[in-house]
Chains A and B, each alone.
Chain A
Amino acid sequence: MNDSRKPCENRLEEISLLAAGCLADREERELRQHLAMCDGCRERFDELASLSLGLRAAKPAVDADSVRNLARSLLHAPSPASTAGQSRTADWRVAMLAFTVLVLVAVMSHFALRPTDHTEQPEVVQESPQVAREELGSPLPTLFALRRAAAESDESFDRLLAQYSGSLVSEPFRFQSISQEFVP
């Protein structure tokens, strides 16, 4: 409580809110009890209450036709229930389309990836190590080529080994020639 004409510092915001009509019932009751005892706060409240009245009286006019037109504008708006129904229908259409596309892709990929002639397989396996061999310039088959040929069939693996047999046979000769250089 403040006996002087100055309002209490800790009540200033509350007083403004009360003057603006924004205080909850319980807070308002509590503050009004304080105002009854504090001259400084009561004077400040009276000043702000008068200002609030002035502000409300200065409320700009709004064209009544504009307000009525706002409500009328809704007359032609589609119902949210019907738009929700439309969107549900649209969702179903999209889902059906997506399902059809998925089925088509699955069917097409099945036919596209399926080998049409089993006799072609050895040719592919036969070519692959050759390419690797040419590219690397290596006298030995690559590990990849060996694995692939082994996975295909025993025949493919034998064929691959036969391809590299010349290189494999030449290895001991090379070893001999190197060792011969160190023989005194």
Chain B
Amino acid sequence: MDVSDTSLEGELIRRAQVGEQRAFQQIVQQHSEPLLRCALTLCRDRQLAEDIAQETLLEAWRSIGRFDGRCRFSTWLYGILRHRFLKATQRVARKFAELPVEDAAPIAAPNADPLRESQRAEDAARIRQAVAALPDEHRLVIELRFFADATLDDIAAALDIPLGTVKSRLHNGLEKLRHQKLAVNLFSTDRESPTRQP
């Protein structure tokens, strides 16, 4: 069952609001991974990210009755995540460690060519390093969009910034990465840009 369907999600939320835990779990299954990725983006510490994501879901479950549907459920969830993240940073009160690149390797496709996969992994590591080197305001927006699949509204809720600021930061972050010529060789074996074709 695909919970991303808005009407189905709405129905599940209504059932969760009257205390049906199974309905809430169905919603959570859809949002767990993006939420965990978002937490990882914000705090860059796996253990802490899992704790924050768990606290977020528990808080969402406790206060599901207050969700009024004025925004998307994911946006509401990301708002809770931001509060939990801020609380956690106050609690932990330490600088978050950089996420090790080898710890964040993408999953290889089954039956993939090992040489090609190795090249792909290298490219991915290079991109992650470039993203990690961005100023925080750009890094967060880029990571939330591309690593956590967050929508612009979700990002605005997670970072508590206006939608217009999210758009401009996303644009500026992409421009910074573009200037590093990251994409020139990345997909040259997969496809050619239409403008480069004769």
Q: What is A's interface to B at a CB cutoff of 8 Å? A: 12-13, 16-17, 19-20, 22, 39, 42-43, 46-48, 50-63, 66-71, 73-75, 77, 79-84
Contacts and interface: CB of A to CB of B under 8 A. Distances in A.
Given A20-B174, A60-B128, A71-B28, A54 B64 contact: no
Identify the 9 closest CB pairs spanning chains A and B, nearest first. Answer: A81-B19, A60-B104, A58-B124, A55-B146, A16-B171, A58-B127, A51-B183, A50-B183, A46-B193
Contact of B24 (A46, A67, A74): A74
A80 B65 contact: yes
13 contacts: A50-B193, A52-B146, A55-B146, A60-B37, A66-B46, A66-B50, A70-B50, A71-B28, A71-B29, A75-B25, A79-B21, A80-B17, A80-B61
Given A53-B183, A58-B106, A59-B37, 12 more contacts: A13-B171, A17-B170, A43-B193, A48-B174, A50-B186, A54-B127, A57-B124, A59-B106, A60-B40, A67-B32, A74-B24, A80-B62
Given A16-B170, A54-B183, A70-B53, A79 B19 contact: yes
A184 B193 CA distance: 129
A101 B56 CA distance: 39
A47 B178 contact: yes
Nearest to A66: B50
A17 B36 CA distance: 24
A176 to B, nearest CB: 85
B105 to A, nearest CB: 6
A74 B32 CA distance: 12
A184 B179 CA distance: 116
B133 interface: no
Contacts of A43: 193, 195
B171 A17 contact: yes
Contacts of A46: 193-195
Interface string B81-106: 00000000000000000010001111
A47 B196 CA distance: 11
Given A20-B170, A80-B63, A67 B33 contact: yes
B142 interface: yes
B175 interface: yes
A87 to B, nearest CB: 11
Contacts of B131: 55, 58
B25 A69 contact: no
Given A51-B174, A67-B32, A82-B19, A60 B61 contact: no
Contact of B57 (A12, A63, A70): A70
Interface in B139-198: 142, 145-147, 151-152, 167-168, 170-171, 174-175, 177-178, 182-183, 186-187, 193-195
Given A22-B151, A55-B127, A56-B146, A50 B187 contact: yes
B33 A62 contact: yes
A164 B112 CA distance: 116
B37 A81 contact: no
A48 B18 CA distance: 46
